[in-house]
Structure 1
Amino acid sequence: MSHSITQKSALVVSAHSADFVWRAGGAIALHASQGYQVHIVCLSFGERGESAKLWRLGEMTEEKVKAKRREEAQAAAEILGADIEFFDMGDYPLRADKENLFRLADVYRRIQPHFVLTHSMQDPYNYDHPLASNLAQEARIIAQAEGYRPGEKVVAAPPVYCFEPHQPEQCNWKPDVLLDITSVWDKKYQAIQCMQGQEHLWEYYTRVALQRGVQAKRNIGITEARNITHAEGLQSIFPRVTENLS
């Protein structure tokens, strides 16, 4: 999809087809509602490791699972107001070659994102997640290089935020941004409900949003009187450049 010069954009790099919903659905819906063009890249469908409920149905094949996961992810993206594309790189293990790296760098060039959301840099429970994070960051660097496809518009230096892993303490993940998603929580929960294959996570991520909402409310400025109920935590990788610290 082409993007107008004035329209802001965002890129979400998700290892599996449901990760973007649990961890960044609020951020996606919020920025889409603010006029951002949000583009999601799902590196895999999570067909092997994250589709247990589907496999237990019996008479299931990898292609059938992929088709179901694609359908769920597309429905969720539509609710959140985002575009989505699938690299179909496989999961458990997710592995990237140079071709996939360049393919993602080309997405950066096309989207010209104002910010990027992806996984934590560590996750001892799921090695696909840090690989996705590394791929997102390396593709960003390549997309910034003048010598990569000379003549194309390079990418600036979009901030990269790591969204919340399932067990943050074990992933050395510590939020330094709390995003108020109260206004779009209903949309996020509607998108969560698209993920029929992982129903056990619906209430877990509701509790995460409520917890972060309490923390966000404690941290807003003294003059702000917003009634925050739901939030998402993010960890920034790069320093913020500013002329104003308020």
Structure 2
Amino acid sequence: MTNTNKGAADSAAKSALVVSAHSADFVWRAGGAIAQHTQLGYKVHIVCLSFGERGESAKLWRKGEMTEEKVKAARREEAMAAAEILGASVEFFDMGDYPLRATKDDLFRLADVYRRIQPHFVLTHSLKDPYNYDHPMATNLAQEARIIAQAEGYKPGEPIVAAPPVYCFEPHQPEQCEWKPDVLLDITDVWDKKYAAIQCMAGQEHLWEYYTRVAQQRGVQAKRNVGITTSKNIVYGEGYQSIFPRVTGELA
């Protein structure tokens, strides 16, 4: 997942998959990467495993006379509006949250998405999160579905997926989640799209400025890591932790 100056034509046939535990997670944590890659010509598809209707919709519940179905509907509308701004497609598994639990059918359903999308990279949550068990549950599901989608014996005759790199996007409290970024993505050119998508999340308005500060922090770090000689003025960034090693013939 590299920020590149190559044109959209070079990426026209490429795709990416984002596995989000709740319907707003992809916006806060990966909205820049999504907008960046759709702008480059990637087809980015988002799977929201749940709407976050129980644990991440406090503002909606405080309105009173609210039901779970009404909250889900509001969260769906927010996520669809955000995905449209970012240029991605989105689907909802509606698995429930707090707790998020997967059945074998859910696992196979996600494996089928891998087969359909054939992603060149995958974005999902950190491997650990003591504050929100739904997040690593989503990561484990994304990882296991990837493995199944690679298996020749799963639905023989279908094209298997290759070995797409998996990047863990930034959790809310990275130090407690043992999350350490080894990729800093410059999202300055698409920050306006990410912030517009953030503003779709009316049910979690308290996070709008928090994730603006996170993006500014990662932007500063990205700027320092490319050195002072670069002509690029990096202002906003996103951090990612890769699960698998990068295979290359050149280290530069």
TM-score by shorter chain over 0.5: yes
Aligned equivalents of 2:63 and 2:78: distance in 1?
A: 17
2:38 and 2:195 map into 1 onto residues whose CA distance is: 16
Displacement of 1:6 after TM fit? 5.6
Q: What stretches of structure 1 of length at least 5 have no aligned partner?
A: none
**Amino acid of the structure 2 residue aligned with 1:34:** L
Letter in structure 1 aligned against 2:108: F
Aligned pair partner of 2:199 in 193, 197, 207: 193
Which residue of the partner structure matches residue 54 of structure 2? Answer: 48
Q: 2:34 is matched by which residue type in structure 1?
A: I
Q: Secondary structure at the match of 1:178?
A: strand
What is the rounded CA distance, in whole Å, between the counterparts of 2:25 and 2:87 in structure 1? 16
Q: Distance in 1 between matches of 2:177 and 2:25?
A: 16
RMSD of Structure 2 on Structure 1 (CA): 1.0
Q: Deviations over 1:165-199 (max 9, x none)?
A: 00000000000000000000000000000000000
Q: 1:197 and 1:27 mapped to 2: Cα distance?
A: 23
Matched, 1:85 2:91: yes
Matches within 5 A, 1:80-229: 80-220=86-226, 224-229=230-235
After superposition, give the CA deviation of every residue in 1:121-158 in whole Å (9 maximum; x if it has no partner).
00000000000000000000000000000000000000
Q: Specify the code of the residue in structure 1 equivalent to 2:217.
A: Q
Q: Report the 3-state secondary structure (helix = DSSP H, G, I; strand = E; otherwise coil) of the residue aligned with 2:46.
A: strand
Distance 1:98 1:31, change over 3 A: same
The 4+ residue runs of structure 1 with deviation greater than 4 A are none
**What residue ranges of structure 2 are gaps of 5+ in the alignment?**
1-10
Is the aligned partner of 1:233 residue 2:239? yes
CA contact (8 A) 2:12 2:41 kept: no
1:24 aligns with 2:30: yes
Residue in structure 1 matched with residue 6 of structure 2 by the alignment: none
TM-score by length of 2: 0.95
**Equivalent position amino acid for 2:222 in 1:** A
Q: Secondary structure at the match of 2:185?
A: strand
212-221 vs 185-194, which moves further: 212-221
Displacement of 1:75: 0.1
- In the aligned structure 2, how far is the partner of 1:13 from the partner of 1:216? 25
1:181 and 1:214 map into 2 onto residues whose CA distance is: 12
Name the CA distance, whole Å, in 2 between partners of 1:117 and 1:225: 29
Number of equivalenced pairs:
242
Over residues 85-126 of structure 1, what are the superposed CA-to-partner deviations in whole Å (9 max), with x where a residue is unaligned? 000000000000100000000000000000000000000000
Is the 8 Å Cα contact of residues 165 and 243 (structure 2) preserved in structure 1? yes
- Among all aligned residue pairs of Structure 1 and Structure 2, give the percentage whose two residues are the same amino acid: 84
CA distance in 1, matches of 2:38, 2:12: 15
Which SS does the other structure have where 2:251 is aligned? coil
1:225, CA displacement in angstroms?
1.7
The structural deviation recorded for 1:223 is 5.1
Deviation of 1:14 (Å):
0.1
